[in-house]
Structure 1
Amino acid sequence: MKKIILMAIAVMTLPALAQEHKEHRQGPHKKEAMLKDFSPEEAATLKTKQMTLHLDLTEAQQKKIKALFLEEAQFMQEKREARKAAKKDNKEKPTKEERYAMMNERLDREIAMKKQMKSILNNNQFEKWEKAQTTKHKKKIQKRHKGDEKRGR
């Protein structure tokens, strides 16, 4: 009788544990997903304030960086909407040439962003920002590799 009760309790708690694990797994994406819900102006303001806290930006730097983030957020929103429309119309994946063009465009934008940040920030701030970008990039790669391992790639 005790064994049956213990088995029933175990069976009832397994789904709860599985749900907790699923919610935990979505954690790193919440910040990125949260910014997508905001307008470009709101997202730019939030990112600027985060950077101000991290790098102790002056008022002039804040204005320049906010304008930069606003431009980037507007561009990303346009790209997101274009991707959604293309996904609805065409279920096919992009061709090799299209992927190359997208990657090339993204890298060009990253280079331009880095040059603009270097002109806005002082040397110490720029080094700290660059280090944070590298750390963020490494985490993204690790997360991608974990996903590949889970899918058996």
Structure 2
Amino acid sequence: MKKAIALCALLLGFGVHAQHKSQKHSQRGESQTQLSTAQQATIESKRMTLALGLDEQQQVRLEDVLKKHLDTRLESRENRKPEENDHKAEDSEERFARMNQWLDREIAFQKDLRGILTDPQFEAWHTEHKKKMAKRKHRSKSRRMEGPR
């Protein structure tokens, strides 16, 4: 009897923990979509100003570049949504074209940043960006291991 009660308590604990975790992820996604691309660009340029010590001219130029970058990213995401609903496997040519476009956009974005930031500022941004991407990749891998929610 004690084992049955302990097992029920354990399962209940896992269930509550799983629900709490999934709600936290859904709230994070909702908060990002509530901001327009202009608002996101303003927030990100101010974050970078604080982190990198940008002057006002750099901040204004950076905000324009970020807005353009976020607009193109949003546009490509919207263009891809109908394809996701088809539930069809993406062939290698489509994947290559999509990845190639993404890399071209990232190269152009970094080139624009190099024109705005000084060398030490760009190196500091690049270091933080690499950390952020590694963290995102790790989080993505752990989600795939967990399975569907």
Q: TM bucket by the smaller chain?
A: 0.7 to 0.9
1:87 Cα offset (Å): 3.1
Aligned to 1:147: 143
Report the Cα distance in structure 1 between the residues aligned to 2:41 and 2:22, rounded to whole angstroms: 26
SS at structure 2 position matched to 1:87:
helix
Query: Partners of 1:54 and 1:31 in 2: how far apart?
Result: 23
- 1:138 has 2:134 as partner: yes
| Residue deviations 1:100-131 (CA, integer Å, cap 9, x gap) | 01111111111111111111011221111000
Q: Taking structure 1 as reference, are residues 101 and 25 closer, same or farther at Cα in structure 2, changes over 3 Å only?
A: same
Instruction: Decide whether aligned partners of structure 1 residues 95 and 86 sit closer, same or farther in structure 2, where only a CA change above 3 A counts.
Output: same
How far has the Cα of 1:75 moved from its partner? Answer: 1.2
Please name the residue that 2:43 is paired with.
46
Deviating above 6 A after TM superposition, structure 1's stretches of 4 or more consecutive aligned residues are none
Of residues 65, 88, 98, the one that matches 1:102 is 98
Letter in 2 for 1:19: V
The residue identity in structure 2 corresponding to 1:44 is A
- Pairing partner for 2:71 from 49, 71, 74: 74
Percent of pairs identical after alignment?
29
TM-score (norm 2): 0.80
- Number of equivalent positions: 147
Alpha-carbon shift at residue 68 of structure 1 (Å): 0.9
Aligned Cα RMSD in Å? 2.9
Q: Which residue of 2 is the match for residue 19 of structure 1?
A: 16
Relative to the length of structure 1, the TM-score reads: 0.78
Which secondary structure state, in structure 2, belongs to the residue aligned with residue 106 of structure 1? helix
How far residue 70 of structure 1 moved from its aligned partner, in angstroms, is 0.6
- AA at the equivalent of 2:84: K
In structure 2, do the counterparts of structure 1 residues 26 and 136 end up closer, same or farther at CA, with 3 Å as the change threshold?
A: farther
| Residues 50-103 of structure 1: per-residue CA shift (max 9 Å, x gap) | 111211211111111111111111112212222223334x33132210100111
- The amino acid that maps onto 2:88 is E
Closer, same or farther: CA 93–28 of 1 in aligned 2, 3 Å: same
Q: 1:82 to 1:148 in 2, by over 3 A?
A: same
- Structure 1: gaps of 5 or more residues: none
Using CA pairs under 8 Å that are at least 6 residues apart, name the structure with larger relative contact order, 1 or 2. Answer: 2
